[in-house]
Chains A and B, each alone.
Chain A
Amino acid sequence: MIQAGITPEDIADKVVRLSRTFRAGNEVSMYDLLADTGYLEHHDRIGEDVIRKRLALAPELISEWLIYSEDKRTRRGWYFRSSPSHGYEVGYFGGTDDQNISMVCTDRFDACAKFVKKELEEMRGQV
């Protein structure tokens, strides 16, 4: 049960701004920012569809997520990048062919929502 007066859309609004919030501040980790959104408790109600709708209201955030993805300095992880021939690519880089995943989306909102959801779920699994 989400706290009275707070909707999945409210949480999604905070979630889609995480990359911007993270880059704007210097002293809070992405994980701590995510925990503050309420997503960890209500993850099952914040699907790609809700995230997509909130992103569509703030399309400028797409570029923030593209930079967030390219800024990762990890061995493995989800990524989101533009693809000159296909539009956008969301994938998982695991280092070996059998671990790698790649999905192509022509719609930037679909692609970004997919990436955000994958990224948040990976972080949720790191509790």
Chain B
Amino acid sequence: MALAIAVGAAWMLSAGVPGIIAATYAAAPKAAAILESVASEYSGGPLGASPVPLGAAAVREGEGLAARGKTVLGKFPDYVELADELGARRFNIPTEIWNKMTPTEQWAANQKFLDQLIARGDEIILSNPVKSISEATGSYRRELRYLMDESFKLSGNGTRMTR
């Protein structure tokens, strides 16, 4: 159970828990409080404190906090599956928390994750290639649109977003 929780929290470490929670507080205090309580449980204390052992996977992701890397975007579950294969970052939240977040809260957390991958300069890989943004649907389209507004464009074969 503890390992499952730690692995589930790995996204928070890779995305930067304090940043996500701060962004979420602005949009949605309730979900941010949930996130913070979970994050505190996983890190063994207040945010920013030295973490207790979290499991190898979580620690490895945490160590790469500011390093440029790969991030996979796409449709569930394809993007998680591909990210696992590539050892890449991906945005995911424990299911029991996700289901209790409003759409506004979900997007606030997602947007923060996108901001951080942009800041790191990650290579952006698409699990569901598209030739144009109009082929994408739902949140995937919103993610691509957000990146385009940040001067990214689709690669020729639709498998990457590049600047």
Contacts and interface: CB of A to CB of B under 8 A. Distances in A.
B100 A73 contact: no
State which size class the interface on B falls in. Answer: 20 to 34
B7 interface: yes
Contacts of A77: 76-77, 95
Contacts, number: 81
Contacts of B7: 75
- For chain A, what secondary structure do more than half of its interface residues adopt (helix, strand, loop), or is it mixed? mixed
A29 B104 contact: no
Contacts of A28: 102
Given A29-B101, A79-B76, A123-B99, A74 B94 contact: yes
Interface string A22-40: 1101111111100000000
Interface string B1-39: 000000110010000000000000000000100000000
Interface of B: 7-8, 11, 31, 75-77, 80-81, 84, 91-96, 98-106, 110, 137-140
Q: Which 5 A-B pairs have the closest CB atoms?
A: A93-B77, A70-B75, A72-B76, A67-B138, A126-B96
11 contacts: A26-B102, A27-B104, A29-B100, A32-B100, A67-B138, A72-B76, A73-B91, A73-B93, A73-B110, A75-B8, A126-B96
